[in-house]
Each structure stands twice: as structure tokens, then as C-alpha cells.
A and B are shown apart, each in its own frame.
Chain A
Amino acid sequence: MATTQVSVPLGPIKPRDPARAADPTVAVHGVSKWFGTKVAVSDVSCSFGPGITGLLGPNGAGKTTLLRMITGLLHPSEGTVSVFGTDPLRDPAVYRRIGFVPEDDAVYGYLSVRDLVRYAAELSRHDSSAAVVDAAIEKVHLLDAADRPIAEYSKGMRQRAKVAAALVNEPDLLVLDEPLNGADPTQRAILIALFHELAAAGRTIIVSSHVLAEVERMTDRVIAILDGKLAAAGGIRAIRAAMTHIPHKVRIDSDEPRILGKALLDLPAVVGVHFEDGGLEVQTSNLAALGTALPAVSINLSVRVTRFEPVDASLESVFRHLLSIRR
């Protein structure tokens, strides 16, 4: 689900909007979780709606703890979690609509994937017929190995087995904690395509990962957690745009980079210019102003501009900025 809303409460960045989905399936209100004296999640409020939302954060940031509170595996120390308008801890019936893929290598090694998926269907009070079970296994391309014990599977295959078990009851909410761990590039492509397909069908998918490139392939909407706190939420470009105190980096290629670079330095919006690989990397405090001024400058100098591209609006660079704010 694409959204332009953004919330970046860390550091000097001003929040423009809360981290709320337009049509929330999952609502998290002021949730904290501590284990003894260690605070794992601190006062996080956010929501998730149909489509894919990436939950980002370095290892130990609190992503898994937050996901476990959303699913009801952990009780919040403070705050509330609502899934489809109810608290899963009080109303287990809501689990008919939830699928969960845990981060841990938590599978019954003595079962085959066919047994595992059938077991999941039976526990969910769902149709556990062979056709339904095989359809779920087919979605993750494991039918050929469906009768082998999961203990013999590679890590990537075990991940896909868990995804098949999570999908068999056709959940409206799918919570995926590092679902691509151990998967090879082909398997990743299969799973990402599957998640896109489910999102297009209106399912809510929350996917946690510390591999930013993967999240970027899946979604534009992210919620970033750092040190247990909500660090940012919204569209990746919107989050980056809200970081007004951090100069934007723009790659500009032209036939006369030195002449253009010197002229750009005279613009008030330009903070610095570096020559790189025959082009320019321009740092600007106002991306829009630079974009507006560049055509006039190039015409005045008779310089032909062949490329103008922000280079730090990727998820990775946004996340790097968030980490630098924390430090």
C-alpha cells in the first residue's frame, strides 16, 4: 500500500503525520515491552493496513518483539494491540485470519511439509483436504519434496515450508519475521512474487527484515524501529524528504562537469560538489530548488545535462541516515 504519510520522530526531524495506515488491520497503541530491566520496545504506536509494510531495524532493534506482541505471542508490558478490532490474547478466534512465519527455525523436523501444512489447517479449523494442502505447498514450489521430513530440508526450504503452513488457512493478515533468511535468489524471487500477489488481493502483510534491498523490492511503505522506538514510518521517499537537515545527494552527469560544478556552487541551495566518475555528486539542502535552477544554469553555460538523479533516496541510504541520527 503506497502512502505519502510519514512520521520521523527521532532527532530534529519534524513529524508531519502519525504512522497510521489509512485502513488499519493492525493497530498498535503506545506499546512497550521490557524483560527485567531491558526495554525491548518503548512506546510504539503505528498501524498496518492492506498491502505490504516493511518493518525495518538492525538486529536487536525490537522488530521481532513488536511482531510477537502483534500476534499475541508476547504480552505488552504497556499499551494495547488490536488485530481486526480485537485483542488476540483475549479472542483466539481471530487467529483464523492470521498467518505467522516466525524468525526462528521453528519447525517440526519429524514432519514432512505435507504433514506440517495439514496440521496447520487442522489447528486453524480450516479445510485440511489433500487438495487444499497441496495448493498451499504448490504456492511455495515445494510439491516435489512434500513428503520428505523437514529435518532434511535446507534452511531456505524450511522457510518456504513455514510460509506454506502460514498460507493454508488463507489468512487476511500475514506476519512474516525475516521470511527470506536462508533462501537463495530464486527462492527469494518466488516468495517476493507470492507476497506481491497476496498484497494485490487485499491481504495485510507485515514483513520484517534487516536486508533493506529485499524490503525495497517488496514495498515502499516501511516502519523503522531503532533501539525499540519508532524511528520512521511512511513511504521511503517521503521519509527521506522529511530529513531536511541532512543534505540530499544528487548525481548530475554533463558534457562539462567542471564548469557546471563551479556554477552550481554559487547556488544557495547547493552545499557541496564532488567530482565522481566523470560526473558530479551535488549535495543540496533543497532538492526542489536545485531541480528548478539547474536548467537555467545549464542553458547559460551551454552545458548539456544528461542525468539528474537523487542517489540517497534508497531505503538503504534512508536507513543509514536514521542510524546516524540515533548515534
Chain B
Amino acid sequence: MTPLLAIVRVTVRQLTGGTQALGFGLLSLVPAVLLAAVSRSADPGALDLELGVLLVVPFFALVIPITTLILAGSALGEERRDKTLSFLMLRPISRLEIAAAKTLTAAAVSTGFAVVGALALSLTWLAVGGSFDVFPSMVLGATLACVMYSAVFVLLGNVVARSTLVGLIYVLFFETVMVEELPRLAGASLWRIGLGATLETMPAHFPARALLGAMGDWIPSLDSALIVMGSITLVTVGICTVLLKRTDAI
């Protein structure tokens, strides 16, 4: 097995060990539970809108960012905190391999939880609304968001001791409060970029327009979302690599 795959394998165990997997799994189901509860009392004609609201608020704006920031922040951050980073650093492997393996794993694991959440939401929607066709679009947008958050928070975990706290401030204050007040900052909100890709690819019956209000001034297309995701990932993995090379590992 190559060093990169070995790091991925062990990091998956690190991120999903103990009760973490159960906790994140339950968290990812919350939007589906809410949708099921709301659908009992909602006007059947407004169900698309209910799904839309539940996509935006708990799933894209809370479940995905919080799950990913905790997982990605600990991918390298926990190695620094537990002083196991020397185990990785004193090996004949490039720093790029370490940064890439950690980012890839954090993105894959958080996407896994997001897919569970999207699946639960879609199945609930199937039960109450009769169609399952929103699932691929939700997975697409969730994947983009998870990759971007992972790239940013793996880097953050490498440089900041309290990366989860900093991440929560970014998600709950900047992305929620600041962008609400200053919509022109929407381009710096990662979940909105993922949601942009989801909305563009949703089936025609989905009330995408009803969600545009949450997007701020910039509504990214799928192409621009992919470009932003690629750029963010390249830049943050690059910075992480340079920092691993040039700063003390302890």
C-alpha cells in the first residue's frame, strides 16, 4: 500500500472511531426528521417549499458545515494536539502527500455523512411527495461543499489550536449573520456555492427560485462552483504543504 493510501486508511479510522460516526450519522438525519415532522401538518401543495427550506437551513447551512469542520479540523489538528504528527513527518514521504491525503480523507468521510443525510431527506421526500429525483442534485452540491470545507478546515486545523471554535464562528457568524446582512459576501460562503450547484441541477418541479433569497448576491452555476471548489482545494492544500515544510512540526 502506498503511503498516501495508508494515511487515508488510518485517518478514516481516526475520524470515524468511537461514537463519532454514530453522532455524525444522527446529525445528518436531523433534516429528514424535521421534514417528516413538517410534512404531517403542511399543505401538500407546499411540500416542495418545505423540502427547499429544509435543504437550505439545517442541511446545507448547518449539518454539512458543522460535520465537515469538526472532521476536517481534527484530521491534522488532532495529530498536532496528540503529538502524533512526528509519526507522519519523519517518513520518506512528501508534505504534499500528507496534506492531500488528509484533505481527501476529510472530504470523503464528510461527504459520506452528507450522502446519508441527503439519502434520508430524499427518502422522506419520496414517502411524502412521491419522487426521489432530488437525490443526485443534493449529493452533487453536498459533495462540492464538503470538499471545500474540508480543504479549508484541514488547513485551519494545522495552524490553529482551536480550529473548531474558529470554524463555528465562520459558519454561524460570517456565513449566517454577515452574509445575511451583506449579501455581496455570498461568494465567500462555501455552502452557498454547493447549494448553487444543487439548485442548478434540481429537477424542474423543484422550487429552486424560492431558495434564491438565501443565496445572497452571487448565485453560482455548476461550472463556477466546480471552478471555485478546485481553486480553493489547490490553494489550501498548497498552503498546507508549504506550512508543513517550513514550520516546526511540534
Contact = CB atoms under 8 A, between A and B. Distances in A.
Interface stretch (B28-36, B53-61, B80-88, B210-218): B80-88
A106 B94 CA distance: 21
Interface in B12-55: 13-14, 17-18
A89 B18 CA distance: 35
A139 interface: no
B250 A124 contact: no
B84 A107 contact: yes
A115 B10 CA distance: 9
A124 B89 contact: no
A107 B87 CA distance: 8
B1 A122 contact: yes
Interface string A53-86: 0000000000000001001111100000000000
Interface stretch (A18-26, A94-102, A278-286, A306-314): A94-102
A123 B91 contact: yes
Contacts of A100: 86, 90
Interface residues of B, number: 29
B223 interface: no
B130 interface: no
Contacts of A224: none
Contacts of B95: 92
B208 interface: no
A111 interface: yes
Given A74-B250, A123-B3, A125-B3, A93 B10 contact: no
Contacts of B245: 89
Contacts of A94: 92
Given A71-B90, A93-B92, A119 B249 contact: no
Contacts, number: 78
B99 to A, nearest CB: 14
Contacts of B250: 68, 73-74
A123 B82 CA distance: 19
A111 B246 CA distance: 29
Interface string B79-120: 000111011111111110000000000000000000000000
Interface string B179-202: 000000000000000000000000
B91 A108 contact: no
A72 B87 contact: no
Contacts of A102: 83, 86
A120 interface: yes
Interface of B: 1-3, 6-7, 10, 13-14, 17-18, 82-84, 86-95, 245-250
Interface of A: 68, 71-75, 88-89, 92-96, 98, 100, 102, 104-108, 110-111, 115, 119-120, 122-125, 128, 165
- Pick the 9 closest A-B CB pairs, nearest first: A122-B6, A106-B83, A123-B91, A104-B83, A73-B249, A95-B92, A96-B92, A74-B248, A110-B17
